[in-house]
Amino acid sequence: MRLLPRLLLSFALCLWASIAAAQTLEELVSTLPDGNYDDRAAVVAQIAATGDDRALKVLEVLLAGDLEVLDSNGRVVQIRKQGRDDFASDILTGEDYGEVPSRGSSKVRVNNSLRRDIRTAIGTMTLRHPDPARRLAAAESAFRSPDPDQSELLAEALAAETDPKVAEALAEAIAAGTLALGGSEAEKLGAVAVLRAMGNTDAKTVLSGAATDPDAAVADAAAEAVHHIEQMQNLWGLAQNVWFGLSLGSVLLLAAIGLAITFGVMGVINMAHGELVMLGAYTTFAVQEAIRSSFPALFDWSLLIAAPLAFLVAGGVGVAIERGVVRFLYGRPLETLLATWGISLALQQLVRTIFGPNNREVGNPSFMSGAFELGQMTVTWNRLWILVFALAVFAVLLFVLKKTPIGLQMRAVTQNRAMAANMGIRTGWVDAMTFGLGAGIAGLAGVALSQIDNVSPNLGQSYIVDSFMVVVFGGAGNIWGTLAGAFSLGIANKFLEPWTGAVLAKILVLVFIILFIQKRPRGLFAVRGRAVDA
Amino acid sequence: MTNFTKTLLGYSAAAMLMGSTAMAESHGGDTIKVGILHSLSGTMAISETTLKDAMLMLIEEQNKKGGVMGKMLEPVVVDPASDWPLFAEKARELIEGNGVDVVFGCWTSVSRKSVLPVFEELNSILFYPVQYEGEESQRNVFYTGAAPNQQAIPAVDYLMDNEGVERWVLAGTDYVYPRTTNKILEAYLKDKGVAEEDIMINYTPFGHSDWQTIVSDIKEFGSAGKKTAVVSTINGDANVPFYKELGNQGISAEDIPVVAFSVGEEELSGLDTGPLVGHLAAWNYFMSIDTPENDKFIEDWWAFTGDEKRVTNDPMEAHYIGFNMWVKAVEAAGTTDADAVIDALPGTEAPNLTGGISTMLPNHHITKPVFVGEIQDDGQFEVVWETDDLVPGDAWSDYLPESKPLISDWVELKCGNYNTETKTCGAE
């Protein structure tokens, strides 16, 4: 009989305690928007300490910058964007407030130091998260900001960890903590060994700090480890330079390959080539705008949709240029140069009038964002996909030229126009198609370049000189030469850049090409035979 | 599509309106002509077109208030097409051909240097609204943008004191503004005890788009166990690929913050700002600053352009201040005569958009507050630090040995580069 009241009492106490905790979180959240960043940091620490299940969500939303206060009722809400509209739901109760006007709520602001605090707090809370990816992120965040309160938690988490990758990250975080916060000599030497094995830039950052440790043995070990990592990095630096060179080469290849057809094969000096690239980039922008407003789910496919459209738009403009202007000027290179230069200015100003002079935002689809680590080097996804894309375009072009009837006709017309005409080939039509093909490929280049450069009316100008350089260096009339030219210029540029700086590297490459052309006026892969004299 | 048509309609309507007002007024007879010398085509159009629109708006509003001294203002717009020598020609055309009384214009330092002799020779007035490298003070030019001590130095102070930065990357585009600013900053940092090996200086060509090597160098430089920051004087279009590469290589503002002097709201509007959140910019004005003056300015701007997506930025505010100072000085002098207005301008006060009153100084620079803002994911800046008072612009940097003894004073000394050691004017 005495048991029951006690049970009741303890039950009531439990209930009260949980209510009190819940109230605290609610109170804390409602005070979050007040005060300055330091006040907010204190509230964040308190929120993390409540142990409430919902605290994690609050902090994550705050970190993402989606936590706002409704002006109408002062509720702290999470904002979700759908297209151009904002939808709010209560951060704690999840109650839906529907669509809110974009100026009807004010954001709970965060700055860098607050962001660091939030990340640390989230890290502490997710060290034992069921998802290994979250635990890994938590360990990495602990590595970056060693915190004395975290040491024990990290050790416990390591003891309980089953995933070897996460365990390794936790051990590294503990090592970084030991070096930053102090420990015995043996512990520190152990930590140095762990980080030496880790061997990347982050480890080097921590070890460089430890190289000034008052304990001589630790300092020496750390200095030796830094030296070891640097040597490893120098080796990898070579690989990294080759990769950077390939990546720059792929951009050059994309920009130049269309020109390899119009200039290399047809012999037309097309100064508007860069603007055709720009049109491709603007097509991508237009496609993305349409997708953003109508089918947001398709965003990751936007580039695939944009590619054929860009080919058609730029190709169409190319055909129009050829039929409208260039065909009257065959055999008069100077006039062609001036006329196409005029067209390039006209196209630029046209785009400026329609889209405005400002840069336009072209987003990266998710598969093209971020990077992955390959050994000691960072490979960014967008560059990797552009390399793949450039090679694919090259392969398709090669196939079209060598294996299709239209390709055969193109080669026939450029090699001997009179003979081709006698064989019944409509040379005028083939000229238009060839020019259109070159222009269309320039449009494809624009799709890729929109991912790494800005989409502005000036986009094309920065590539036109490089494109001519590649085609002339590789040997006009040979698209294999363009491939070799693009990659060798890219790699040469990237190996020179760390020594000489970007400005001088560009100049040196230009000087090299001038000297090279003196020696081999027809470029790397000279076209031999009658075509040369035609 | 509807948005696009709207913009198109808006543009054509604005163009028609401009055409008709200009025509109506040119027949009006007694007007005061105001020259606008900003590139509307070419590379710099991205930045300068906005300033042209801002000037047209300011002039329109002044006319609604009854003009200046009872006369209507008439804007004369020319397009120097981002071509530096053409700036000088167009300036001459404005002053001699159109007979304008004052010119608002230029963006790049090289365009300003190109028009200087024209303004001196024809004795006219230029208001220059952009932050610049200093080391100049000319009788006919009024510098309403920031001098290095109103932007670069306070930003570095912020990073040093608040973020504890010890290692510095000074990255810039290869031309006069970044080179001079970095020279001043390098001298300043060394003055503050930063060692030679903790400063990395890097220049890139205009429109540089392949940032892989430089970003990976910055990452490498930042791994020396000391907090590192990048001070960026990278200009114009090159910023977009730079920030994209930073984001892709995983350098966040929490690891290595970048503070930029040439990236404002306008530049960010063409960018997916997600990966940039937390990077910094130092300016004398941000669109996000909450004052009644700024709210009104933004409302007016949206009404004028008919587009609620248009942003305002620092050089626009500089034109706002400069234009109001010129109006006050003309009214004080009672004439638009260049000599009288030049004499009346120093000491003239005009409200800025951030809640203070800026003053034109005898060295033809103005007092301004300095703000450091962090980029937010909506493309706006959140102010994280500001100076307590307005900072007076200093034409000649105190941190360069060759310009340390120089001062500029057009009121007492009538000299733009007076050497306080030799007590002579004109010694550079």
DSSP B152-173: HHHHHHHHHHHS---EEEEEEE
Measured between alpha carbons, how far is B116 from B394 in angstroms, rounded to an integer?
A: 19
Residue A115 touches chain B, beta carbons under 8 Å? yes
The series of mean pLDDT values per 10 residues for chain A, 534 residues long, is: 53 48 72 81 84 83 85 83 76 82 76 83 82 84 78 83 86 85 82 84 81 82 87 87 92 91 86 94 94 86 93 96 91 91 93 84 84 82 93 94 91 85 90 93 93 85 88 85 92 88 88 90 70 45
Residue among B386, B274, B385, B167 nearest A113 (CA): B385
Please tell me the predicted confidence (pLDDT) of residue A11. Answer: 52
Which chain B residue has its CA at the smallest distance from A382's CA?
B248
> Domain map of chain B by residue range?
2-148+290-370, 150-288+372-392
A454 closest CB neighbour out of B203, B226, B241: B241
User: Can you tell me the mean pLDDT for B312-336?
Assistant: 95
Does B194 score more than 90 pLDDT? yes
Please tell me the predicted confidence (pLDDT) of residue A1. Answer: 45
Q: How far is B297 from chain A (nearest CA, A)?
A: 17
User: Can you tell me the mean pLDDT for B200-210?
Assistant: 87
Listed in sequence order, the residues at least 6 apart from A59 whose beta carbon sits closer than 8 Å to its beta carbon are: A44, A47, A48, A118, A121, A122, A125
Looking up residue A524, the CATH number of its domain turns out to be: 1.10.3470
Q: Examine the domain organization and report whether A252 and A309 are in the same domain.
A: yes
Strand-pair partners of B201: B170
Does B195 score more than 80 pLDDT? yes
Report CB contact under 8 Å: B210, A251. yes
Measured between alpha carbons, how far is B366 from B353 in angstroms, rounded to an integer?
A: 14
Q: Examine the domain organization and report whether A34 and A69 are in the same domain.
A: yes
Report CB contact under 8 Å: B248, A363. no
Please tell me the predicted confidence (pLDDT) of residue B16. Answer: 44
Measured between alpha carbons, how far is B144 from A350 in angstroms, rounded to an integer?
A: 33
Residue among A34, A518, A467 nearest A251 (CA): A467
A369 closest CB neighbour out of B49, B204, B248: B248
Q: How far is A416 from chain B (nearest CA, A)?
A: 40
Chain A positions touching B377 (Cβ under 8 A) are 65
Q: Mind giving me the DSSP string for B193-220?
A: T--GGGEEEEEE-TT----HHHHHHHHH
Report pLDDT digits (tens) over A178-187.
Answer: 888 777 888 8
Query: Which A positions 247-306 lie with beta carbon below 8 A of chain B?
Result: 247-248, 251, 289-290, 293
Report CB contact under 8 Å: B241, A349. no
Q: How far is B239 from chain A (nearest CA, A)?
A: 9
Q: How far is A433 from chain B (nearest CA, A)?
A: 31
Q: Examine the domain organization and report whether A202 and A294 are in the same domain.
A: no
Given this chain, do its domains B2-148+290-370 and B150-288+372-392 carry the same CATH topology?
A: yes
Measured between alpha carbons, how far is A38 from A28 in angstroms, rounded to an integer?
A: 14
Determine, yes or no, domain membership for A143: yes
Q: How far is A202 from chain B (nearest CA, A)?
A: 7
Listed in sequence order, the residues at least 6 apart from A68 whose beta carbon sits closer than 8 Å to its beta carbon are: A76, A77, A78, A79, A88, A105, A106, A107, A108
- What pLDDT band is residue B93 in, cutting at 50, 70 and 90? very high
Chain B positions touching A37 (Cβ under 8 A) are 384
Q: Which of A143, A240, A387, A454 best probes binding to B when mutated, by most B CB atoms within 10 angstroms?
A: A454
Report CB contact under 8 Å: B1, A290. yes
Residue A473 to residues A465, A476, A485, B239, B396, Cα–Cα distance (Å)? 12, 8, 6, 30, 48
Listed in sequence order, the residues at least 6 apart from A532 whose beta carbon sits closer than 8 Å to its beta carbon are: A522, A526
Instruction: Please write down the long-range contacts of A492-495, taking CB distance under 8 Å and 24 or more positions apart.
Output: A492/A245, A493/A245, A493/A248, A494/A241, A494/A242, A494/A244, A494/A245, A494/A248, A494/B212, A494/B213, A495/A241, A495/A245
Q: Examine the domain organization and report whether A201 and A253 are in the same domain.
A: no
**B24 burial type by CB count under 10 A (0-12 exposed, 13-18 middle, 19+ buried):** exposed
| Element at A388 (helix H, strand E) | helix A381-403
- Which residue in the block uniquely carries the two structure tokens 């939808």? A87
| Element at A69 (helix H, strand E) | strand A67-70
> What percent of chain B shows pLDDT beyond 90?
59
Report pLDDT digits (tens) over A28-61.
Answer: 888 888 877 788 888 888 888 887 778 888 888 8
Q: How far is A466 from chain B (nearest CA, A)?
A: 12
Query: Domain of A205?
Result: 127-214
Q: Which of B7, B158, B212 best probes binding to A when mutated, by most A CB atoms within 10 angstroms?
A: B212
Cβ-Cβ pairs closer than 8 A, A with B, add up to 160
Report pLDDT digits (tens) over B233-274.
Answer: 988 778 878 888 888 888 888 889 999 998 888 888 767 787
Handedness of CA B339, B342, B347, B351 (dihedral sign): positive
Which chain A residue has its CA at the smallest distance from B278's CA?
A112
Chain A positions touching B244 (Cβ under 8 A) are 364, 382, 452
Q: How far is A327 from chain B (nearest CA, A)?
A: 28
Chain A positions touching B278 (Cβ under 8 A) are 111-112, 115
Please tell me the predicted confidence (pLDDT) of residue A10. Answer: 54
User: Parallel, antiparallel, or unpaired: how do β-strands B258-260 and B280-283 relate?
Assistant: parallel
Please tell me the predicted confidence (pLDDT) of residue B29. Answer: 57
Residue A502 touches chain B, beta carbons under 8 Å? yes
Q: Examine the domain organization and report whether A105 and A131 are in the same domain.
A: no
Report pLDDT digits (tens) over B236-245.
Answer: 778 878 888 8
- What pLDDT band is residue B8 in, cutting at 50, 70 and 90? very low
Measured between alpha carbons, how far is A523 from A521 in angstroms, rounded to an integer?
A: 6
Determine, yes or no, domain membership for A224: no
User: Looking at the domain that runs over B2-148+290-370, which CATH code has it been given?
Assistant: 3.40.50.2300
Which chain A residue has its CA at the smallest distance from B255's CA?
A144
Listed in sequence order, the residues at least 6 apart from B258 whose beta carbon sits closer than 8 Å to its beta carbon are: B229, B230, B231, B232, B243, B246, B279, B280
Which chain B residue has its CA at the smallest distance from A455's CA?
B270
Average pLDDT score, chain A: 84
Residue A157 to residues A174, A193, B21, Cα–Cα distance (Å)? 11, 21, 73
Q: Examine the domain organization and report whether A440 and A465 are in the same domain.
A: yes
Please tell me the predicted confidence (pLDDT) of residue A207. Answer: 85
Does B17 score more than 50 pLDDT? no
Report CB contact under 8 Å: A359, B271. yes
Length of chain A measured in residues: 534
Q: Examine the domain organization and report whether A524 and A384 are in the same domain.
A: yes
Measured between alpha carbons, how far is A374 from B152 in angstroms, rounded to an integer?
A: 38
Interior/surface letters A318-333, b for 16+ CB within 10 angstroms, e for the rest: bbebbbebbeebeeee
Query: Which A positions 317-346 lie with beta carbon below 8 A of chain B?
Result: none
Residue A511 touches chain B, beta carbons under 8 Å? no
Residue A370 touches chain B, beta carbons under 8 Å? yes
Please tell me the predicted confidence (pLDDT) of residue A527. Answer: 65
Interior/surface letters A413-425, b for 16+ CB within 10 angstroms, e for the rest: bbbebeebeeeeb
Q: How far is A267 from chain B (nearest CA, A)?
A: 28
**Helices (H), ranges, B269-418:** 292-305, 314-333, 338-344
Chain A positions touching B288 (Cβ under 8 A) are none
Which chain A residue has its CA at the smallest distance from B252's CA?
A112
Backbone angles phi, psi at B298, to 5 degrees: -65, -45
Please tell me the predicted confidence (pLDDT) of residue A363. Answer: 83
Residue A223 touches chain B, beta carbons under 8 Å? no
Q: Which of A206, A208, A378 best probes binding to B when mutated, by most B CB atoms within 10 angstroms?
A: A378
Q: For residues B212 and A502, is the Cβ–Cβ distance under 8 A? A: no
Chain B positions touching A111 (Cβ under 8 A) are 278, 374, 382, 384
Name which residue leads in pLDDT, B197 or A454.
B197
Instruction: Give how many domains chain A has, as a whole number.
Output: 3
Query: Which A positions 163-182 lie with beta carbon below 8 A of chain B?
Result: none
Report CB contact under 8 Å: B217, A358. no
- SS3 category, A297: helix
B204 closest CB neighbour out of A370, A381, A503: A503
Name which residue leads in pLDDT, B329 or A109.
B329
Determine, yes or no, domain membership for A121: no
Does B112 score more than 90 pLDDT? yes
Q: Which of A380, A385, A508 best probes binding to B when mutated, by most B CB atoms within 10 angstroms?
A: A380
Q: Which of A246, A347, A453 best probes binding to B when mutated, by most B CB atoms within 10 angstroms?
A: A453
Q: What's the gap between Cα A163 and its chain centre?
A: 30
Determine, yes or no, domain membership for A100: yes
Residue among A390, A46, A501, A364 nearest B201 (CA): A501
Q: How far is A5 from chain B (nearest CA, A)?
A: 55
Average pLDDT score, chain B: 87
Q: Which CATH superfamily is domain B150-288+372-392 in?
A: Response regulator (3.40.50.2300)
Report CB contact under 8 Å: B217, A498. yes
Q: Examine the domain organization and report whether A377 and A433 are in the same domain.
A: yes
Residue A375 touches chain B, beta carbons under 8 Å? no
Determine, yes or no, domain membership for A219: no
Question: pTM for this structure?
Answer: 0.79
Longest dimension (CA), chain A: 115
Handedness of CA A362, A364, A370, A374 (dihedral sign): negative
Which chain A residue has its CA at the smallest distance from B6's CA?
A354
Backbone angles phi, psi at B126, to 5 degrees: -120, 130
Report CB contact under 8 Å: A506, B205. yes
Residue A116 touches chain B, beta carbons under 8 Å? yes
Tokens of A454: 């800005």
Q: Examine the domain organization and report whether A416 and A444 are in the same domain.
A: yes
Q: Examine the domain organization and report whether A24 and A165 are in the same domain.
A: no
> What percent of chain B shows pLDDT beyond 70?
93
Q: How far is A496 from chain B (nearest CA, A)?
A: 10
Q: Which of B9, B209, B227 best probes binding to A when mutated, by most A CB atoms within 10 angstroms?
A: B209
Q: What's the gap between Cα A153 and its chain centre?
A: 35
Q: Examine the domain organization and report whether A523 and A398 are in the same domain.
A: yes
Q: Examine the domain organization and report whether A432 and A497 are in the same domain.
A: yes
Report CB contact under 8 Å: B225, A207. yes
Give chain B's end-to-end CA distance (angstroms, integer).
58
Please tell me the predicted confidence (pLDDT) of residue A22. Answer: 47
Among residues A181, A214, A247, the one where a domain terminates is A214
